[in-house]
Amino acid sequence: MNYRDLFDLSGKRALVVGAGSGIGRAVAAGLADFGATVTCADVDGATAEAAAAEVESRGGEADAAVVDITQEAQVADLIAGMPALDVVVSTPSINVRKPLIEVSTDEFQRVIDLNLKGNFLVMRAAGKRMADQGKGSLVFFSSIRSQVVEPGQGVYAATKAGTLQMIRALAAELGPKGVRANAVAPGVVETPLTAQIKNQPDWYRAYAEKSALGRWAQPSEMVGAVVYLASDASSFVTGSLLLVDGGWTAVDGRFTPPL
Tens digits of residue pLDDT in 54-111:
999 999 999 999 999 999 999 999 999 999 999 999 999 999 999 999 999 999 999 9
pLDDT for 216 equals 95
CATH architecture of the domain 7-190+218-243 equals 3-Layer(aba) Sandwich (3.40)
Long-range contacts: 18-21, Cβ < 8 Å, 24+?
18/42, 18/90, 18/91, 18/92, 19/47, 19/48, 19/51, 19/52, 19/91, 20/44, 20/46, 20/47, 20/48, 20/50, 20/51, 21/47, 21/191, 21/192
Residue 255 pLDDT: 64
Percent of the chain beyond pLDDT 70?
98
Q: What's the pLDDT tens digit per position in 196-255?
A: 888 888 889 999 999 999 999 999 999 999 999 999 999 999 999 999 999 999 998 766
For residues 169-184, give the mean pLDDT. Answer: 98
What percentage of residues in the chain have a pLDDT greater than 90? 90
- Active-site residue 156, yes or no? yes
Which residues are within 8 A (CB) of 102 and not within 5 positions of it... i.e. 6 or more apart?
none
Q: Considering the entire predicted model, what is its pTM?
A: 0.95
What pLDDT does 195 receive? Answer: 78
Mean pLDDT score, 119-132: 98
Catalytic residue among 156, 204, 207, 228: 156
Q: For the chain, how far is it from start to end, CA to CA, in angstroms?
A: 48
Q: Is the pLDDT of residue 173 over 90?
A: yes
Whether the predicted pLDDT of 19 surpasses 90: yes
Q: What is the mean pLDDT of the chain?
A: 95
